[in-house]
Structure 1
Amino acid sequence: MKATQKGRSPRGILAFVVAMLLLSGSLRLGSIGIAVASSTTDVDPKLGNVEAVSECVTDAETHELMELLKARSEQISALEAEQEKRQIELANAEATILENLSRVEEAETRLSQTIQRVDGASSKDVNKLTSVYESMKPKDAALLFEQMSPDFAAGFLAQMSPSAAAGILSGLTSEKAYTVSVVLAGRNANAPKQ
């Protein structure tokens, strides 16, 4: 009550104390801000200007961990680039293989058609020649067959009618007729029986 008698109310004193605390706090914050600002700038003595420090100071373990992560990230990037390069090379190789396979299939088709034409022409020629030999006199045809190899002669005789083949065989020497007969008999010796 004495304080109220001197003209100061408790509320006034309290307001004064709060005002002083706020003023003190703001002065402290201001001086901290100035200290922080002065600690985050460097002065380049050669240039005479002020530059802001761009890196935060971290402890050694954090810095080491960051370096390891950066190195690992670079390794992963290099591996990914290598993987992508290999995938491109594999795709190109696959395309080349498919192209070559297509060429081989086309060549195989053309070869098959050529073989069929040749076989067809060859069969026609053999059939025609067989007909010529069948229509010849057996004695004249035997003179030609005497000059042929036994395998070749047996091929023609196998396609002839039995009577024409018998006439030609009878005109051959006994040795040649026997050899051709053995070739004819042995042509199907290795064929499966069942």
Structure 2
Amino acid sequence: MTRKASNRPKGGVLTVISLLMVGSAAIRVGLEAGPALAKAAEPSVTAAKPIMDDHPKTRELLTALLRREQALKEREAAILEKERALDIADQAIETRLVALQDAETSLRETLSYSQKAAETDLTRLTDVYQSMKPKDAAALFETMDPGFAAGFLSRMPPDAAAGVLAGLSPEAAYTISVIMAGRNAAAPQE
């Protein structure tokens, strides 16, 4: 009794095994996918809950971080305000410095002018005293403060100063001579 192979269904045993395996896989996916899908859906429900509800330590940490962030923002704002104040102060100092430099330049010019004018006056007055008769100049120098008289005599040529000193009283001539001799005693020698 030989059966013909043509009556048999093609791939019968292999097809049945394959179908059983596919069915088993579908059942497993169905059984295992359900809880997995439920777990996947669960975080979306719990995502609405704050994380802090789950962990008290997390709540403390988050609170501390928020406080720290606020403190840093406040410090940053204070630093920025100080920087603005320093910029304003720098500008004011710069403006005052320029004004002081201008004032100093003006003062130097005024002092220079005053010194030139004073020098011109002293030179003119010295010329007047030395062109006077020594006897008349001596009478005038006798009434002057000795330091003031010594200043004029030291500016005069030696022969004119000698004529005036000769006309002075010995005490006045001595005092003026001492002042003239000691004027540059404290000056450095080199």
| TM-score, normalised relative to structure 2 | 0.78
2:179 is the alignment partner of 1:191: no
Structure 1 residues 140-189: Cα deviation after superposition (integer angstroms, max 9, x where no partner): 11111111100000000001011111111111111111111111111111
Equivalent in 107, 111, 114 of residue 118 of structure 1:
114
Q: Runs in 1 of length 4+ with deviation above 4 angstroms?
A: 9-30, 35-40
Aligned partner letter, 2:140: L
Change (3 A) 1:190 1:23: closer
| Percentage of pairs with the same residue | 39
After TM superposition, give the deviation of residue 55 of structure 1 in Å. 3.2
Aligned partner letter, 1:74: Q
Which residue does 1:89 correspond to in 2? 85
Q: Which runs of 5+ in 2 are unaligned?
A: 1-15
Aligned partner letter, 1:111: L
The 2-side partners of 1:58 and 1:26 are apart by 26
After TM superposition, give the deviation of residue 116 of structure 1 in Å. 0.7
Change (3 A) 1:17 1:122: same
Which residue does 1:154 correspond to in 2? 150
Which residue does 1:166 correspond to in 2? 162
2:90 is the alignment partner of 1:70: no
After TM superposition, give the deviation of residue 193 of structure 1 in Å. 2.5
Change (3 A) 1:58 1:132: same
The 2-side partners of 1:74 and 1:19 are apart by 55
| TM-score, normalised relative to structure 1 | 0.76
RMSD between aligned residues:
2.8
The 1-side partners of 2:44 and 2:156 are apart by 119
Equivalent in 68, 76, 80 of residue 76 of structure 2:
80
Which residue does 1:48 correspond to in 2? none
Change (3 A) 1:11 1:183: closer
Q: Which runs of 5+ in 1 are unaligned?
A: 1-8, 41-51
After TM superposition, give the deviation of residue 58 of structure 1 in Å. 3.0
The 2-side partners of 1:154 and 1:81 are apart by 70
The 1-side partners of 2:158 and 2:17 are apart by 149
3-state SS, counterpart of residue 192 of structure 1: coil
Aligned pairs, how many?
175
Which residue does 1:102 correspond to in 2? 98
